[in-house]
Amino acid sequence: MNSSAYHFDLVWHLVKRNFYLRYIGSSIGILWYLLLPLSQLLVLVFLFGKVVPLKIDAYPAFVFSTLLPWVWFSTCLNTASSLFISNKDLIRRPNFAPFILIIVDTIANLLAFILFLPILIFILALYSRYITLYFLIFPLLILIQGILTVGLSMIIATMNVFYRDIQQIVTVAIMLLFYLTPIFYRPEAISKKYNLVYTSNPIAVLIQSYREILFYGSPPQWSSLMFAGIISVIVCVAGFFLYNRHLPDIFDAL
């Protein structure tokens, strides 16, 4: 078996193992992955649909069109900090590359996202928001977000081996990023003097791109999406550089 086939089989085996350990042993299994966005949806719909109404048509579909990709992103970053530490026995095995754990975690969470995509499409249809040909852009958004997620996860996982405060910092950062990303509000609601915070945030651009093709049935802003793609590649390259630079120290620290 050549090296590429070996690594493919290894990644697929670990993805299935990740799925089994994370979901199969619980009472409702993989439904836990859906429970978080659904609970967030209910809170946001009640708060910004009833208490402080934002007056957005089809608001549940408007929010849910971006919640699933956000959960994929935030779940990967939250778990990244402990990936190397909690799998130290696996990392110490000969010829095992620790970065595979990042790939496995990203793919495992992506599969959960894809499995619940029909529910998202159903909710969109309830509010007369139907899938159009622009849905063909969906794999491109997945690719860009995957590259960004792997890069950030690599940085987080590597640094947390040496600085255990990274895990707490990431938790706070993700909470802040949730409110800086147009998940439950329109980008137009952002004050002009803070518009740079949105336009320079690749995940915010990606989230809005998901909404464009799923909720509005229109193409994303290509210039913004290209920018997000470039930033994602830069982040991923920086993550691998940091990982490779500290790889010998990672083995020593673990």
Provide the domain count of the chain: 1
Q: Average pLDDT in the 21-39 region?
A: 67
Domain that holds residue 67: 3-253
Find the length of the chain.
254
Q: Average pLDDT in the 77-91 region?
A: 87
Residue 142's pLDDT band (boundaries 50, 70, 90)?
A: very high
- pTM to 2 decimal places: 0.89
Q: Average pLDDT in the 90-101 region?
A: 83
Rounded to the nearest integer, the mean pLDDT of the chain is 87
Q: Average pLDDT in the 234-244 region?
A: 95
Q: Average pLDDT in the 59-81 region?
A: 92
Measured over the CA atoms of residue 69, residue 72, residue 78 and residue 80, the dihedral's sign is negative
For the stretch 173-206, pLDDT in tens is 999 999 889 998 988 877 777 777 788 899 999 9
8 Å CB contact between 86 and 52: no
Q: Average pLDDT in the 230-234 region?
A: 97
Residue-level pLDDT at 27? 61
Q: Looking at the predicted structure, is the pLDDT value of residue 141 above 80?
A: yes
8 Å CB contact between 49 and 68: no
Residues 6+ apart with CB under 8 A from 96: 90
Residue-level pLDDT at 36? 75
Residue 127's pLDDT band (boundaries 50, 70, 90)?
A: very high
What 15-20 contacts at long range (C-beta under 8 Å, 24+ apart), as own/partner pairs, is 15/104, 15/107, 15/108, 15/111, 18/104, 18/105, 18/108, 19/108, 19/111
**Cβ-based burial of 23 (10 A; exposed 0-12, middle 13-18, buried ≥19):** middle
Q: Average pLDDT in the 74-88 region?
A: 90
Residue 62's pLDDT band (boundaries 50, 70, 90)?
A: very high
